[in-house]
Amino acid sequence: MNYTTVVGLEVHVQLQTATKLFCGCLNKFNPDNPNVQTCPVCLGLPGALPVMNRRAYELAVKTAIALNCNIAEFTKWDRKQYYYPDLPKAYQISQYDLPFSSDGWLEIEIDDETGETKRIGIIRAHLEEDAGKNIHDETGGNRDSRVDLNRCGTPLVEIVSQPDLSSAEEARIYLEDLRRLLKSLEVSDCNMQEGSLRCDANVNIHVHTDDGKTIATPLVEIKNLNSFRNVEMAIEYEAVRQFQEWQETGKTFGEVLKRTFGWNADRGFTFEQRMKEEASDYRYFPDPDLMPVTITSEQVGAIQQTVGESPVDMRKRFQEAYELSRYDASVIIDQGKSFSRYFESVGKKCGNGKSAANWTTQDVLRELNERKIEIELFPVTDETLGILLHKIELDEITVKSAREVFEILLAEADAGKSVTPARVDAIIDEKNLRIVSDTGELEKIINEVLRKNEQIVADFRGGKQGAIGPLIGQVMRQVGAADAKVVREIIVRKID
Asked if 143 is part of the footprint of other proteins (rule: CB under 8 A), the reply reads: yes
Among 53, 188, 196, 335, binds other proteins (CB under 8 A): 53
Q: Burial of 165 by CB count in 10 Å (0-12 exposed, 13-18 middle, 19+ buried)?
A: buried
43 to each of 82, 90, 196, how far by Cα in Å? 16, 11, 21
Closer by beta carbon to other proteins, 87 or else 350: 87
| Closer by beta carbon to other proteins, 213 or else 276 | 276
- Residues 356-375 touching other proteins, rule: CB under 8 A, are none
Instruction: Decide if residue 73 touches other proteins (CB under 8 A).
Output: no
79, 241, 423, 434: which one binds other proteins (CB under 8 A): 79
Phi and psi based region of residue 416 (left: phi greater than 0; alpha: psi -120 to 50; beta: remaining): left
135 touches other proteins (CB under 8 A): yes
Among 1, 83, 114, 257, binds other proteins (CB under 8 A): 83
* Among positions 5, 14, 19, 202, the unique one binding other proteins when judged by CB under 8 A: 19
Q: Which of residues 288-307 bind other proteins (CB under 8 A)?
A: 288-294
CA gap 226, 195 in Å, rounded: 7
Amino acid at 399: V
Report if residue 195 touches other proteins, rule: CB under 8 A: no
DSSP summary character for residue 117:
E
Cβ-based nearer residue to other proteins, 226 or 260 = 260
**31 in contact with other proteins (CB under 8 A):** no
**Residue 392 C-alpha from the chain's centroid:** 31
Q: Does 134 bind other proteins (CB under 8 A)?
A: yes
User: From the CB of 283, what's the least distance to other proteins, in Å?
Assistant: 4
Rounded CA-CA distance 199/225 in Å is: 5
Question: Segment near other proteins (CB under 8 A), from 116-124, 179-187, 278-286, 487-495?
Answer: 278-286
Q: How far is the CB of 270 from other proteins (least distance, A)?
A: 14
Candidates 136, 267, 372, 451; binder of other proteins (CB under 8 A) is 136
Q: In Å, how far from its chain's centre is CA 467? A: 53
What part of residues 228-267 is at the interface with other proteins (CB under 8 A)? 260
Taking CB under 8 A as the binding criterion, the range among 50-58, 247-255, 301-309, 432-440 that sits at the site for other proteins is 50-58
Q: Is 123 in the site for other proteins (CB under 8 A)?
A: no
Q: Give first-to-last CA distance, the chain, whole Å.
A: 78
Which residue's CB is nearer to other proteins, number 71 or number 149?
149
| CA–CA separation, 447 and 488 (whole Å) | 13
Q: Using CB under 8 A, which of 3, 7, 11, 37 touches other proteins?
A: 37
Going by C-alpha positions, the residue among 363, 323, 317 that lies closest to residue 341 is 317
Distance CA 66, CA 308 (A): 9
CA distance 97 to 78: 9
Only one of the segments 19-27, 106-114, 302-310, 376-384 lies at the binding site for other proteins (rule: CB under 8 A); that segment is 19-27
Would you count residue 25 as binding other proteins (CB under 8 A)? yes
In order, the DSSP letters of 342-400 are HHHHHHHHHS-HHHHHHIIIIIIHHHHHHHT--GGG-SS-HHHHHHHHHHHHTTSS-HH
The DSSP output letter for 406 is H
Q: Hey, CA dihedral for 199, 204, 208, 209, is it positive or negative?
A: positive
The count of chain residues that interact with other proteins, using the rule CB under 8 A, is 80
Q: Which is nearer to other proteins, 89 or 180 (CB)?
A: 89
**Other CB atoms closer than 10 Å to residue 141's CB: what's the count?**
6
Phi-psi sector, 202: left (phi>0), alpha (psi -120 to 50), beta: beta
Q: Alpha helices, DSSP H only, in 394-466?
A: 399-414, 422-430, 439-452, 454-461
Binds other proteins (CB under 8 A): choice among 89, 151, 241, 391: 89
Q: How far is the CB of 342 from other proteins (least distance, A)?
A: 26
Q: Does 95 interact with other proteins (rule: CB under 8 A)?
A: no
Binding mask 375-394 for other proteins (x = CB under 8 A): --------------------
DSSP 144: P
427 to 466: interface string for other proteins, x by CB under 8 A: ----------------------------------------
Q: How far is the CB of 479 from other proteins (least distance, A)?
A: 59
DSSP 8-state code for residue 153:
T
Helix (H, G, I), strand (E, B) or coil at 213: coil
Of 3, 488, 493, 487, the residue nearest 245 (C-alpha): 3
Give the one residue of 275, 373, 394, 426 binding other proteins; rule: CB under 8 A. 275
36 or 394, CB closer to other proteins? 36
99 binds other proteins (CB under 8 A): no
DSSP state of 130: -
Q: Which of 4, 29, 52, 486 binds other proteins (CB under 8 A)?
A: 52
Least distance between other proteins and beta carbon 73 (Å): 11
- Residue (223 or 337) nearer to other proteins, CB: 223
